[in-house]
Structure 1
């Protein structure tokens, strides 16, 4: 009789556990409460983790839930374009799988059934070359660090001084096979508290990267620089970058602590080609050696010390610092796209965002005006552009799993809703229920004024997108420091009659496009009254803003001291390479 009672109790317990997970997986909006209850159970931690992973292996990480990770069909989900609803559930399930995996494996080791852990991780993150790691070739799995002096390190943690950021040595990565991979990575492969600059560079971005390094030296940068690639940066180009960072040393032009990180060994061959252009930035920020990286595009130009961004209130408060993009009222998401995004947000946060009450509820949860402004810009104004990702700061200890979510979104059925990587950074944080914020000053246009009809009105057109502090000082800009960064003078002269009429020859247009910009003023537009506009110069990459005194826009005129300081950076950027 006692045996039957014990057996019945075990069956009841199994039924209850299975029911719990069915409820958890039914709707992502209820996940957090259930997972909190799940974490508070007084069962053995290892046993609980195994149960959690077993459920993921059975249903959560099924092929249907993650099928867009298949390298042969990434970015080919036509059902989204055609209005299908099944993929919304697929995407939501995939988001929840990562979140549930995070909760399953948080601060725990797997005492038994390690193959189950590896099965789940291989399904959730199939682009990672886990077979090499798990088959005993662990040294071949780790990425390769190469320093400017020619030394190489593999399976090592780079360590930097917390006082002056100088390189002080390496230590061996202590990898625990019974721990989840990403927890291993953060704890054992990244120095706690480390800071540095990170760039994703292939052979195509070398010229601009050299220019950026020159500017960093002029600004007396002391932060280490890590250039991340996947064997698509040649040894010859690496030497050119090293020369730009180390040669012509002087007190006013200090050498840089330059590193290269080759992450090719971390990725499966089938997925290597999928990481291209913008997608490479996910590899750079995810696998870089720093806990708190500042991610830079190669054509980003800083005008202040990079340490400035670590000291900004937004970063100290949230562990993130994002900047706004140009705001185009005419660049809208379609109604179907908005509906899909709202469903995904609702499924993950439990807030449908269909009413003011919903928005107020989300506002209370976010507790950040700029984060809320980003959401409202999306769901109420249908704005397609909000974030500029030419420079951003993110604390990976606080927000690492949001990066995995963002990367998944970049390769998901909805990746074509936005341009490149930009919006996925903050949407990944939103869907992960993480804190984030934006610099409060609107994106601006920087250059030289073009006077209009009256002395109190002006227009400015340039390819540069600038970001200023609250006092009007330029923090950084994107787009380089020449009139046009594109080799498009032949096309523009042939195809654009309005441009050809202003230049005697294509050579004259080429000279104009390659000439340095003049940084004299900034116009911060008031987009509701006078929005950004696009003109035909530089293959359409030229944008205009207007100012009219007392009516719209903010005009900032640089002081003579600022102009001279900025001019030095412009000249350095445009020096012959």
Structure 2
């Protein structure tokens, strides 16, 4: 027995020794293969990608590249790629190929190499690889979107159609993980669009028919985004909402009826909201108001598991933004209210130029984004070589400080986009844009919308920005496309009160005026406080404060449910009299102040008293929105 145990022990030890010896030999081999010689030169690194793997890393592996620039150059580059940390390929191009030689390559050849490299490297959406994912998105836009786009299947040299299908499917899933690719060759990526003005208990004929492709579905799916952009047509209103928002949507539709809206409204869903009761409620609003309401079910285009786990809350807004069928759309939150016909927004000249128009948020100076967040955004900037060799350029240099005061002293003009950029990237001010209403031309802005969606999906900036709003301008900025932000500061509407020589208005609504001091739209409903149960919540949180001021929950609840009376607006000067946040309405109530001289002229901030005709119209809209008899 002792000999038997000893023999087993010796055999087990022998196996361990053999395994350790083999492991040691493997380590020595790998170290020898991957370590550069003493005289090897490490390529210059362009850009800081932390420990992420660039899609360009390994850019020149494969026979295709050797045929283009020669075997000797290729082997030289490959040896450096094996030895160096992950880095931008453009540094490798500059050092080992030469920028001129790369520039002379045809775009199709560049994109073929880029696509293969993306497929080889792969990238997930997390903090360490987000710069690479953004880089991949810019590669995709350079090759397959915009003017004279290429087609992904033309970039492949697979030996069989089955291999081409598999590779293209993998590439699409890598870049756009939310797209459905399970049946890429048999199931067309196309939404179901229904006209809710039709009669019947449930959905009937499709409003937007699936395109006829002579059975070649795969041609649509292979280059889906350019086909989707080209299929977009017309103008419309776009909304996304959940079951709990149906009442608010009914109020908005009544306002649109009052404004004699004549453009269609699309409610875009991921399919999760497609319940008979939800659909029937929307249909009733169509019948009551005569508004053209269309329901877009985008589920045939989306990966169900991905949607279930990733597309929540504010992220649904990107689905609505991207998967509506309009060329030009007004994306509006269900609690935002226009005071002018919606077609007015399409006529803004700067919108026509850039294809996207946004409004400013409250300029709250004391709320800041963490410095790390801004550093992470800066890390998404393209390298110098990327800008030089494939033309990627941003409107502002994220790594450099812009001294606006110096520019102003020198008489240089300052755009509002530059002010917003500086406020965020150099002053770390958290709130810049109000996304309650955004005007978008999909043909011009599809790339930026996809990148904005990608940024939001990553979760990296969850604690850096509030919801979706800042991504509407950061997406275009990081895509290298132009964008427009309304130059006027946000305001508050309501009734004036006097406070120690200041004129103030306090309300939870954020409003937006035009150059003629007319009210364009407001965000936050048209009650004193839109949140259900807010009075009880406020008393629970600050019982002494609210008891001293409002006595009982019922008194406060009655106030909160009152319609907002609109007398005028105040546009504050936040440098002199900043916005003041109060405890009312679950701390969503803000006060703004202006100071006037004896003649009534504005000295600090701006007080706007609406003329009687405009005030009557605004209060009529408030009445329509608030009157429960108008909402089922």
TMscore range, shorter length = 0.7 to 0.9
User: What does 1:306-345 correspond to in 2, within 5 Å?
Assistant: 306-345=342-381
The one of 440, 465, 468 aligned to 2:513 = 468
Structure 1 counterpart of 2:319: 283
Rounded Cα–Cα distance in structure 1 between residues aligned with 2:420 and 2:478: 13
Structure 1 residue 192: Cα displacement: 4.7
Decide whether the 8 Å contact of 1:175 with 1:188 is kept in 2.
no
Alignment of 1:120 onto 2:165 = no
Q: Which moved more, 1:306-315 or 1:232-241?
A: 232-241
Decide whether the 8 Å contact of 1:53 with 1:117 is kept in 2.
no
Alignment of 1:271 onto 2:310 = no
Alignment of 1:206 onto 2:264 = no
- Aligned pair count reads 519
Decide whether the 8 Å contact of 2:452 with 2:472 is kept in 1.
yes
Structure 2 counterpart of 1:259: 294
Distance change (3 Å), C-alpha of 1:439 and 1:43: closer
Alignment of 1:501 onto 2:551 = no
The one of 586, 590, 613 aligned to 1:539 = 586
Structure 2 counterpart of 1:10: 67
Alignment of 1:144 onto 2:192 = yes
Distance change (3 Å), C-alpha of 1:183 and 1:451: farther
Structure 1 residue 67: Cα displacement: 4.3
The one of 212, 224, 245 aligned to 1:184 = 224
CA RMSD of aligned residues (A): 3.5
Structure 1 residue 220: Cα displacement: 0.8
Deviations 1:325-345 (CA, angstroms, capped at 9, x unpaired): 011100012223233323333
Decide whether the 8 Å contact of 1:368 with 1:437 is kept in 2.
no
Decide whether the 8 Å contact of 1:195 with 1:292 is kept in 2.
yes
Structure 1 residue 200: Cα displacement: 0.6
Decide whether the 8 Å contact of 2:229 with 2:443 is kept in 1.
no
Distance change (3 Å), C-alpha of 1:565 and 1:108: same
Structure 1 counterpart of 2:618: 566
Rounded Cα–Cα distance in structure 2 between residues aligned with 1:522 and 1:28: 54
Structure 1 counterpart of 2:606: 554
Structure 1 counterpart of 2:442: 396
Q: Determine helix, strand or coil for the equivalent of 1:416.
A: coil
Q: Determine helix, strand or coil for the equivalent of 2:569.
A: strand
User: What does 1:47-126 correspond to in 2, within 5 Å?
Assistant: 49-59=111-121, 62=122, 65-68=123-126, 87=128, 90-106=129-145, 107-109=149-151, 110-111=153-154, 113=158, 114=164, 115-126=166-177
Decide whether the 8 Å contact of 1:92 with 1:344 is kept in 2.
yes
Decide whether the 8 Å contact of 1:451 with 1:459 is kept in 2.
yes
Q: Determine helix, strand or coil for the equivalent of 1:327.
A: coil
Rounded Cα–Cα distance in structure 2 between residues aligned with 1:31 and 1:563: 64
Rounded Cα–Cα distance in structure 2 between residues aligned with 1:16 and 1:360: 48
Q: Following superposition, which runs of at least 4 residues in structure 1 exceed 6 angstroms of deviation?
A: 6-9, 20-23, 28-34, 36-40, 357-361
Q: Determine helix, strand or coil for the equivalent of 1:126.
A: coil
Q: Determine helix, strand or coil for the equivalent of 2:565.
A: coil
User: What does 1:34-45 correspond to in 2, within 5 Å?
Assistant: 41=104, 43=106, 45=108
Structure 1 residue 489: Cα displacement: 1.0
The one of 447, 457, 466 aligned to 2:494 = 447
Deviations 1:65-87 (CA, angstroms, capped at 9, x unpaired): 3243xxxxxxxx6xxxxxxxxx2
Deviations 1:458-513 (CA, angstroms, capped at 9, x unpaired): 11110110000011100000000000011211121333222222334322211111
Structure 1 residue 539: Cα displacement: 0.8
Structure 1 residue 100: Cα displacement: 0.9
Structure 2 counterpart of 1:84: none
Decide whether the 8 Å contact of 1:157 with 1:189 is kept in 2.
no
Q: Tell me, which stretches of 5 or more residues in structure 2 are unaligned?
A: 1-62, 159-163, 384-391, 408-412, 597-601
Decide whether the 8 Å contact of 1:530 with 1:546 is kept in 2.
yes
Decide whether the 8 Å contact of 1:190 with 1:289 is kept in 2.
no
Q: Determine helix, strand or coil for the equivalent of 1:430.
A: helix
Structure 1 counterpart of 2:336: 300
Q: Tell me, which stretches of 5 or more residues in structure 1 are unaligned?
A: 1-5, 69-76, 78-86, 159-169, 249-254, 362-366
Q: Determine helix, strand or coil for the equivalent of 1:421.
A: coil
Rounded Cα–Cα distance in structure 2 between residues aligned with 1:384 and 1:8: 46
Decide whether the 8 Å contact of 1:144 with 1:152 is kept in 2.
no
Structure 1 residue 93: Cα displacement: 0.9
Q: Determine helix, strand or coil for the equivalent of 2:327.
A: strand
Decide whether the 8 Å contact of 1:463 with 1:484 is kept in 2.
yes
Q: Determine helix, strand or coil for the equivalent of 1:133.
A: coil
Structure 1 residue 14: Cα displacement: 6.1
Deviations 1:392-427 (CA, angstroms, capped at 9, x unpaired): 011111111111111111022223200000001111
Rounded Cα–Cα distance in structure 2 between residues aligned with 1:147 and 1:39: 51
Rounded Cα–Cα distance in structure 2 between residues aligned with 1:426 and 1:53: 27
Distance change (3 Å), C-alpha of 1:51 and 1:529: same
Q: Which moved more, 1:442-451 or 1:224-233?
A: 224-233
The one of 163, 175, 184 aligned to 1:133 = 184
Distance change (3 Å), C-alpha of 1:174 and 1:427: farther
If the length of structure 1 is used for normalisation, what is the TM-score? 0.82
Rounded Cα–Cα distance in structure 2 between residues aligned with 1:442 and 1:16: 56
Q: Determine helix, strand or coil for the equivalent of 2:506.
A: strand
The one of 208, 211, 216 aligned to 2:256 = 216
Decide whether the 8 Å contact of 1:53 with 1:116 is kept in 2.
no
Decide whether the 8 Å contact of 1:203 with 1:232 is kept in 2.
no
